[in-house]
Amino acid sequence: MRKTILLLFFLASSDGHATTIAPVPINNLYEEADIVATIDIVEGRVIENNKEVCGALYKGQIKKGFKGVSDNEIIVFGHNFNGSARVRVDEK
């Protein structure tokens, strides 16, 4: 099954902890994002560590790149439950 999503991806680190998420204007999110695109998800898999689920990894094709990627590129992205996110743009 293919899914299309709008991806606003930014990698940032913070030393502080918060109990609530502060509202952020969409313009600020766009400015801080490394990649903004609509994509078709073509593959997804669960990441396991010693038979425990610890994250997910997805592969998608860029339908429309707004920032940081071009149309039709392949992108791999995911998230670990230990808090790290990653994005990789694959060569065609």
pLDDT digits (tens, 9 = 90+) for 55-91: 888 888 999 999 988 999 998 888 766 655 556 666 5
- The mean-pLDDT minimum among 15-29, 34-48, 64-78 falls in 15-29
Q: Is 33 within 8 Å of 8 (Cβ atoms)?
A: yes
CA distance 73 to 38: 11
pLDDT at 76 (0 to 100): 86
Sequential DSSP letters for 22-83: PP--HHHHHHH-SEEEEEEEEEEEEEEETTEEEEEEEEEEEEEEEESS-TT-EEEEEEETTS
- Residue ranges of domains in the chain: 3-11+24-90
pLDDT at 75 (0 to 100): 87
Which of 25, 27, 88 is CA-nearest to residue 60? Answer: 88
Identity of the residue numbered 16: G
pTM of the complete model: 0.60
Which of 30, 43, 38 is CA-nearest to residue 72? Answer: 38
pLDDT at 8 (0 to 100): 53
Average confidence score pLDDT of the chain: 75
